[in-house]
């Protein structure tokens, strides 16, 4: 069975509104391009106890989880430490991460026309970005070589989209290609006027029970600018199974004498 995919977004700047989250829409798109879906997402501020609790749930879930943000080496970065605490393992400088970070420091020195000084205090401090929970594996960063890391099926990347997104994509392609669906995901729905969700629930339950792999959804609206008060009722899943489920949905709605509006295909 295809595992559930989850997303943890760490950072006070998201919860305070200083920055808008761009990760969730992008992760949804990256998964959809591979025939996969995001099952859940969680936002967590820079509070170690909360980050540790969120990561403990992720490790225990068995889900494939991407965690963005908080893996730097400044005082407000806690994710590396919290991951170790959630697993009950020590932190250690990862040998491959050390090599990559030193490469980056040498690249920076060349770009600036200065000598590389490995023992300079700020360069020694930068190695903290490679201190990961014991047993971690590396996620390479094509932007600046500073790596992320994986602990089992939980994967940690920086908060910067320019780094995080190609790293997430590489993890998907390198580790989960066998889960990619060759079939296109499809969603079909219809606008329904004058009906109540409670009335339509038995129909929705019957469709899900009768069509494996299909999800039924109901999106009520009370003040839509075009349709006013209505329910968008639909089915989604692989294209091979959606058509039959949608036909049953329309037939069922006709037995209720429901007033139907536009049909939507996504």
Q: Give the chain's domain count.
A: 2
Which H or E element spans position 41? strand 38-44
pLDDT band at 183 (very low <50, low <70, confident <90, very high): low
Instruction: Render pLDDT for 127-154 as a digit per residue (tens, 0 to 9).
Output: 999 999 999 999 999 999 999 999 999 9
The answer on 172 and 131 residing in a single domain is: yes
Picking from 120, 154, 179, the residue at the C-terminal end of a domain is: 179
Picking from 179, 203, 222, the residue at the C-terminal end of a domain is: 179
pLDDT band at 50 (very low <50, low <70, confident <90, very high): very high
User: Once rounded to an integer, what is the mean pLDDT over residues 31-39?
Assistant: 92
CA dihedral 235, 238, 242, 243 (to 10 degrees): 150
Identify the CATH number of the domain in which residue 243 sits. 3.30.70.260
User: Once rounded to an integer, what is the mean pLDDT over residues 102-108?
Assistant: 97
Bridge pairing between strands 5-10 and 91-93 = unpaired
Write out the residue range of the structural domain in which residue 241 sits.
185-265
- DSSP assignment letter at 73: S
The answer on 197 and 109 residing in a single domain is: no
pLDDT at 182: 60
The answer on 168 and 36 residing in a single domain is: yes
pLDDT at 240: 85
User: How far is the C-alpha of 72 from the C-alpha of 103, rounded, in Å?
Assistant: 17
The answer on 172 and 141 residing in a single domain is: yes
The answer on 97 and 50 residing in a single domain is: yes
The answer on 190 and 160 residing in a single domain is: no
User: How far is the C-alpha of 51 from the C-alpha of 149, rounded, in Å?
Assistant: 16
Strand partners, 112: none
Identify the CATH number of the domain in which residue 64 sits. 3.40.980.10
Residue 82 pLDDT greater than 80, yes or no: yes
């Amino acid at each position: 069975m295809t595992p559930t995919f989850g997303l943890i977004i760490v950072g006070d700047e998201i919860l305070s509104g200083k920055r808008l989250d761009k990760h969730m829409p992008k992760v949804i798109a990256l998964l959809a391009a591979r025939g996969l879906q995001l099952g859940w997402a969680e936002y967590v501020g820079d509070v170690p106890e909360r980050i540790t609790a969120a990561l403990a749930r992720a490790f225990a879930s068995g889900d494939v989880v991407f965690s963005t943000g908080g893996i730097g080496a400044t005082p407000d970065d806690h994710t590396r430490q919290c991951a170790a605490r959630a697993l009950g393992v020590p932190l250690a400088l990862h040998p491959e991460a050390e090599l990559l970070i030193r490469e980056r420091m040498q690249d920076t020195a060349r770009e600036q026309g200065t000598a590389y000084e490995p023992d300079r205090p700020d360069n020694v401090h930068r190695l903290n970005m490679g201190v990961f929970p014991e047993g971690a594996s590396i996620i390479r960063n094509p932007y600046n070589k500073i790596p992320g890391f994986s602990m089992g099926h939980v994967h940690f990347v920086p908060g910067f989209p320019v780094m995080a997104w190609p790293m997430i994509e590489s993890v998907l392609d390198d580790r989960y290609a066998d889960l990619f669906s060759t079939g296109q995901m499809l969603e079909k729905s219809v606008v329904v006027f004058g009906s109540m969700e409670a009335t339509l629930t038995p129909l929705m339950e019957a469709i899900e029970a009768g069509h494996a792999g299909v999800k039924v959804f109901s999106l009520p609206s009370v003040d839509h600018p075009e349709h006013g008060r209505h329910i968008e009722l639909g089915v989604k899943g692989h294209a091979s199974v959606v058509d039959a489920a949608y036909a049953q949905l329309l037939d069922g709605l006709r037995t209720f004498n429901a007033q139907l509006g536009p049909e939507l295909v996504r």
